[in-house]
Each structure stands twice: as structure tokens, then as C-alpha cells.
Amino acid sequence: MKTKIKILLIALFIGSNIGFAQQDEECMTKLSIFHEYVKAKNFDAAYQPWMDVRNKCPKFNNAIYVDGEKILTDKIEKTTGADKVPFINDLIKLWKERGEHFPSKTPKGEYGAQSCQLMYDNRAILNKTNEELYECFDLVYKLDKATFTNPQSLYTYFSLMVDLFDAGKKPAEDLFNKYDDIVEKVEEEVKNYSESLNVLIEKEEAGTELTGKESQYKAYYESYLAAYDQIEAGIDEKMGTRASCDILIPLYQKNFEENKGNAVWLQRAAGKMSEKECTDDPLFFKLVNAFHELSPSANSAYYLGILKDKEGKSSQAITFYKQAIDLETDNFKKANLNNRIALKLKSKGSYSQARTFFREALRLNPSNGRPYLSIAAMYAASANDCGDTNFNKRAVYWLAADEAQKAARVDSKLASASANSAANYLSKAPQKSEIFSAGNSGETIKIGCWIGASVTVPKM
């Protein structure tokens, strides 16, 4: 009897293995068929064999989900109106299945955000409300913030919060908290891409040619930085006047006592008031001092510098600004801090000091070319003050144009701004006829005052 049972179990085991083998062989054949169709962009022909493999062997190969996304995206693009709905829902279902069967290859934040974005883009035909869509993004963001990095989805997420605030469905405090949260997330991603790009730019600046792969990576990093730059501007534009001093001050006054021991709240409140130029109000003084006392940091020292600036104590302000830089340990954040300080000094006309901070920002983060444009603008603004003759005064514009052109060399997203600025400055510099009349082609002109630089007259 035992022998018969043993033989039966062996037979069942062999039979089941043959079944699995036959299934694997069938799935392999159909996978090969649909994959070739996808490569040829014949998505209609790929659909049925792909569905067969998806249903029979969902764990067989990740190509089921990679190619399936292309197949369903093609279906969505080729259909209109309500006919899209089944394919949209199936694509969302496909991403969920991918997460179940290939979790290590399916980051929750990335694919969850894709699903929410797809629903948002088709919200009219899916009958999705702003509340439903916001909850979708919010759930994914809280579930896996680390891989929720898509610039468009980050913007959509915040945009929905603004729409809900405008509709009276979210309070101002939630709006400001979400703004700070998203802006910090964007800054984190910009930091990551900038640091990777800086390595390649420094290699180029040292005269070493990039490999083909490195050039591809450089283009990839630059494209993402350009995208984040756009959405950062979009987020600020979307926030608009909703964060005016008239709204911020009463809100922070009301919540100060409750949050005076919360360093994050104090930092964000002081930061928002600084950003929106609400620094004349006594509340800013109260926030900054509470923040610095609770958690002395680069940010708190920077805000103390702003206070001293407001009091007209420039030397003390510079002391606090330098202290802020010393307290900051992250080079990317230190570069941003140098740039912010430089911009404040530039606005006050303290050009020499501002240039020092701009140069340091460039050293720490060479892939951000904006400081070059700021230095160029300061040179141009000083043209009448930094030359002993009319020709030499206008020669300052050559220096300004050179600085502006440097911006595009390190920061591709500034190519247009760089070219426009340089062209503007060159139009104000001495022209060929004036160089000919002066007879100083190729000569070096020393520029005095705070600029303290030399410029070579173009050769005729």
C-alpha cells in the first residue's frame, strides 16, 4: 500500500512539473512574440499574446509589465472619451500587479505617483474630484516619499492642495505646511542631481573630455534640473498672494505659543516671513530669537543677520551671515546660503562683498550658473563708476558679457537668459568703429573701483 502511494505521489509530482514546464514554454513563446511586436511598435498585434502571458504567468518576467505599460499607453492614446476608461483603469491595475509580483523593481512612490497622475490627467472622464485626487497623491507621498520624485507629480500634488484651499476645504496652515514640505522635497532632489552633475562639470573644467556615457548622464541630470527649476517657479506662482504678510502674520501669531518649542515650525515660519518680506513685523524678531535659542543653526544665524540688516547694523549682519555659513555642513546648502546672502548684499549695492559670496556659491555648486548672471548685472550697473574715460567705462560691459556667458557653459537651463544678457551687454560695449578710432585694438584695459579686473579690447 505504501509503495502504491509513493508511486502515485511521484507520478503527480512529475505530472505537475510537466504542466509547469509546458506552461513556461508557452509563456516564453508568447512573451517572445509580444516583445518583438512591441519593439516594432505594433502594439495592437502585441496585445493578445501579452494578455495571455499576463494572465497565465504573472511572475514569469518583468517584461510583462514594462511592455504592458507601452501597450496600454498606446491604447489610451488611440482612443477618445469614455473609451479610454477601461485602458486607464487597466494600466493602473497593471502597475499594482507589478508591485505585487516584482516589488523590488517597483518603487511605491514612483509608481503610485504615476497612477495618481494618470487619474489626474484624465479626471474629467474618470469623474474624479480634487479631494479624491489629493488623497491619492497624499497617501503615496506619505507611503514612500523617497521615490516620489517626478517633478510633474510634485507640482500636481501641491496644485491640488491650493485648489482645495481656494475652495475652502483646506485651512491656510495646511497649505503653508504642504508648500514647505514640497519645496524642501524639490530642494532635496535638486541637491542630488546637482551633486552628480558637479562631478562631471568639474571634470570638464579641468580639461578632461567626458566619455559617451558621462555625456548621457550629464544631459539626463540637466534635463531633470531644468524640470525642477520649472516646477519650483510654478509652485511659487501657484502660491502667489495666498501667502501674503496679511495672512501669514495673524496665523503665526495665533500659533506661536503652541509651537514655540517646535524648531521645524519656527524655522518654516521665519523662513516664510523672510521670503515674503514680512521681516519688519515684530513677530519675525520673536520667531527668529525663539528659533535660535531653541536650535542654533545656519538658518537661525542667517535670520539674525537679516534682523541686523533691518536695524542698519551691516557689520553685525555680515558677522551673523558668516556664522551661518560656518554652521552649515552640507556644501549644497552652503552654496545656496552664500547665494542668498550675496543677493541681499547686491540689493543694497554692496557689490564687492556680494561678489565674494557669489564666487563661493559657484565654487561649492558649479552647476548653478545664476551667480554668474548676478555678477554680470553688478558689473553692468557699475559701468559709469568704474572707468576714467567714456571708452573705458563702456569696456566694463565686456566683462559683464563674459560673466553672463559663463552661466550657460555650466548651466544649460540658463542658455537663453545667458545669451540675452550677453547680447545686451555687448550692444553697450564699444563697437568696431569706436575701437578703430581709439586705436587700442588688442590692448588691455584695467578696470578700477570695486571691480579691480582687466579686460582685453577685441582685436580688429
Q: Sign of the CA dihedral 270, 273, 276, 278?
A: negative
Query: pLDDT tens for residues 278-306?
Result: 999 999 999 999 999 999 999 999 999 99
Query: pLDDT tens for residues 34-56?
Result: 999 999 999 999 999 999 999 99
Q: What was the pLDDT predicted at 435?
A: 85
Please check whether residue 130 is in contact with residue 166, taking contact to mean a CB–CB distance below 8 angstroms.
no
Please check whether residue 113 is in contact with residue 158, taking contact to mean a CB–CB distance below 8 angstroms.
no
Measured torsion, CA atoms of residues 279, 282, 288, 294, in degrees rounded to the nearest 10: -160
Residues 6+ apart with CB under 8 A from 271: 180, 299, 303
> What pLDDT band is residue 459 in, cutting at 50, 70 and 90?
confident
Q: What was the pLDDT predicted at 96?
A: 98
> What pLDDT band is residue 14 in, cutting at 50, 70 and 90?
very low
Please check whether residue 191 is in contact with residue 270, taking contact to mean a CB–CB distance below 8 angstroms.
no
Q: What was the pLDDT predicted at 23?
A: 58
Domain ranges of the chain: 1-84
Q: What was the pLDDT predicted at 440?
A: 84
Query: pLDDT tens for residues 86-126?
Result: 999 999 999 999 999 999 999 999 999 999 999 999 999 99
Mean pLDDT of the chain: 92
The β-bridge partners of 456 are: 444
The conformation of residue 413, written as its DSSP 8-state character, comes to G
Decide if pLDDT at 4 tops 80. Answer: no
Q: What was the pLDDT predicted at 8?
A: 37
Q: What average pLDDT does range 169-174 have in this prediction?
A: 94
Decide if pLDDT at 429 tops 60. Answer: yes
> What pLDDT band is residue 366 in, cutting at 50, 70 and 90?
very high
Q: What was the pLDDT predicted at 18?
A: 35
Residues 132, 136: Cα–Cα separation, whole Å: 6
Residues 147, 140: Cα–Cα separation, whole Å: 10
* DSSP assignment of 131-155: HHHHHHHHHHHHH-GGG---HHHHH
Element (DSSP H or E) covering residue 211: none
The β-bridge partners of 455 are: 445
Decide if pLDDT at 16 tops 70. Answer: no
How many other C-beta atoms are found inside a 10 Å radius of the C-beta of residue 200? 20
Least confident of 28-37, 114-123, 133-142, 240-249: 240-249
> What pLDDT band is residue 150 in, cutting at 50, 70 and 90?
very high
The conformation of residue 458, written as its DSSP 8-state character, comes to P
Residue that is written with C-alpha cell 515650525 in the block:
265
Residue type, 290: A
Q: What average pLDDT does range 182-198 have in this prediction?
A: 95
Q: What average pLDDT does range 419-435 have in this prediction?
A: 93
Q: What was the pLDDT predicted at 457?
A: 87
Query: pLDDT tens for residues 328-362?
Result: 999 999 999 999 999 999 999 999 999 999 999 99
Largest CA distance in the chain: 117
Decide if pLDDT at 17 tops 80. Answer: no
R_g over Cα of the chain: 30
Percentage of the chain modeled with pLDDT above 90: 85
- Measured in degrees and rounded to the nearest 5, phi and psi for residue 244 equal -75, 165
Measured torsion, CA atoms of residues 170, 174, 178, 179, in degrees rounded to the nearest 10: 90
Residues 216, 222: Cα–Cα separation, whole Å: 10
